[in-house]
Chains A and B, each alone.
Chain A
Amino acid sequence: MKYILMMNTMRAGAGVPTWPRADLQAHITFMHGLNRDLRESGELVSAEGLSFPDQARLVRAGKDGVSVTDGVFPESKEFLAGFWIIDVDTPERAYAIAARVSAAPGPGGNPLNMPIEVRPVMSAPPPEML
């Protein structure tokens, strides 16, 4: 079963983290370790980090042509910072991986406890229709 784990970050003050070097290092090392483990367990499908919201553009086609405006959805308080697509045996395993992501170390080495949205990817084969 494939799941997407979406890592959301609060939009307020979004930008490059200005943590002390040791904390930054710990965070980077944590993420590398996580990806390495998922690769080695054969569960990683893909993982991507996304640019900061100031580089996001909103494109919408309409009667008057296509409009391109700055920013992520203006009404959202959070933005998608990155995602993993994993292929695991059970939903519980997906939740366990999400919990590990959520507890990634932040300033002072304390867990960030970020909300991680877990959703099944619609990748099952079509059933035999009788």
Chain B
Amino acid sequence: MTDSATTRPWDPKSEHLLRELAPQVLGVVARRFRDFSSAEDAVQEAMLAAFRQWPREGIPENPRGWLIRVASRRMTDTVRSEMARRQRETAMTTEEEPAIEPAENIEADMDPEDTLVFLFMCCHPALSTSSAIALTLRAVGGLTTAEIANAFMVPEATMAQRISRAKQSIKASKVPFRLPTPQERRERLPAALHVLYLIFSEGYASSIGAQLQRLDLAREGIRLTRGAKTLLPEDAEIAGLLSLMLLTNARRAARTGPHEELIPLDKQDRGLWDRDEIAEGLDLLSLALSKGAVGLYQLQAAIAAVHDEAARPEDTDWPQILALYELLQRVVPSPMVTLNHAIAIAMVHGPERGLERLRALDSDERLAGHYRLDAVRGHLFEKLGDFEKAVHHYRTAAAGTTSIPEQNYLMTQAARLEEDRRQLKNSSPGPESRL
């Protein structure tokens, strides 16, 4: 590049800067060439070029301008070869070249809201969830195809194809390239937040041992949600979602042991919880709650906050958690919420009442036979002191889960209870001695 007269050295924060620029550069290029799909490919190539060049040669004085120029050049090449192909096919000759020379005043083309435009576009309901996640990470998050493929443990070619198909769906659905109207925004925000939530939870749930070398999707989810919050500062649900992510992520170091085993909330070393993340999550939450209209993410964040605020498990304010689950059940009823509601009932009113609540789920087709139902039953029967039933349910749950760490956890729970049961038998003449 000839334009890098002044450069700054590359440092660990630069990667962040580069990724933040991706959707902004995409906005300029897509608008200029009126082609989102090709522009998105061109920006990806510019990003790859920057990742190769900047760490070695330093960051150009105007990194945004650099990226726009490289992406535009790529677009020009694409357009020229496309024109040449068409001319060959139609045997037409024309001197006319498309007006594609990059304007000098690129800053005037900038629109910070582009990031939001792309977020809504990538999370469009026309896309399948997995496509929306992949495209959001690339177009809005500025990640490379290789990084995304690695995060989901699929081959890079598969991920590239998934992204390209996602863009075809966007084209076919004729989503206009503009900021949705306030009305559209209200309708489509839940889908966009859901995609951000899934990016986070995919990262959080799989951030165990071996997977630590993968790209940290939980961090990416937090970063993208933070970006969305800056652009829509008045939205209480975005703030609620960011708060939920932070309050959950704060416990990450404590949720697994040295052998990658899962550690439940009440057994975690709370000293390992990230105090800064908790503080930020709590601040965001109180701000969000003060805005009125309480939604799904704010309520879940509020529940996470109650857990995070307890210095010891026995200090947990379960009556408040119970009240929050009751509210959650009214706002977004679902069998998973009922399941957690049952745990809260058990903590406040005793395990029998919790088990009673679970019985309502047996007839719910969405959850009947689901291993989570057995896992919770195992837990509640254990609390009740019925170890035999608890062991049975833990093992049934272990056979049903598709997560190896969770399977190991549930099998170990069953084995531990059997040990306790044997010891109880050896140390006492009969079961009545338990009373």
Contacts and interface: CB of A to CB of B under 8 A. Distances in A.
Interface of A: 15-21, 24-25, 28-29, 32, 35-36, 39, 49, 51-52, 54-55
Interface residues of B, number: 20
A32 B414 contact: no
Q: Is the interface of A mostly helix, strand, loop or mixed?
A: helix
B259 A24 contact: no
Contact of A18 (B400, B407, B414): B414
Given A35-B210, A52-B399, A16 B259 contact: no
- Most chain B CB inside 10 Å of its own CB: which residue of A19, A28, A55: A28
A47 to B, nearest CB: 9
Given A16-B411, A21-B419, 16 more contacts: A15-B395, A15-B399, A16-B395, A16-B399, A18-B414, A21-B415, A24-B408, A24-B412, A28-B259, A28-B261, A28-B412, A32-B259, A36-B210, A39-B210, A49-B404, A51-B399
7 contacts: A16-B395, A16-B407, A16-B414, A20-B415, A25-B259, A28-B408, A51-B399
Interface string B415-428: 11011000000000
Contacts of B260: 32
A19 B408 CA distance: 12
Q: Is the interface of B mostly helix, strand, loop or mixed?
A: helix
B235 to A, nearest CB: 40
Nearest to B401: A51
Contacts of B398: 16
A49 B406 CA distance: 13
Contact of B412 (A21, A39, A49, A54): A21
A17 B398 CA distance: 10
B238 to A, nearest CB: 37
A61 B115 CA distance: 46
Nearest to B396: A16
Contacts of B416: 21
B257 to A, nearest CB: 11
A100 B20 CA distance: 47
Contact of B415 (A15, A19, A29, A35): A19
Contacts of A54: 399
A32 B261 CA distance: 10
B97 to A, nearest CB: 43
Contact of B209 (A19, A24, A32, A55): A32
Contacts of A15: 395, 399
A17 to B, nearest CB: 7
Nearest to A14: B399
A49 B402 CA distance: 9
A49 B411 CA distance: 15
A87 to B, nearest CB: 15
A55 B259 contact: no
Contacts of A29: 259
A16 B416 CA distance: 14
Contacts of A17: 411
Nearest to A21: B415
A99 B419 CA distance: 32
B402 A24 contact: no
Nearest to A48: B404
Contacts of B419: 20-21
Interface string B210-221: 100000000000
Contacts of B412: 21, 24-25, 28
B170 to A, nearest CB: 32
- Most chain A CB inside 10 Å of its own CB: which residue of B395, B402, B411, B418: B411
Given A16-B395, A16-B399, A32-B209, A24 B404 contact: no
Nearest to B398: A16
Contacts of B407: 16
A52 B395 CA distance: 12
Interface in B79-124: none
Given A32-B259, A49-B404, A24 B411 contact: yes
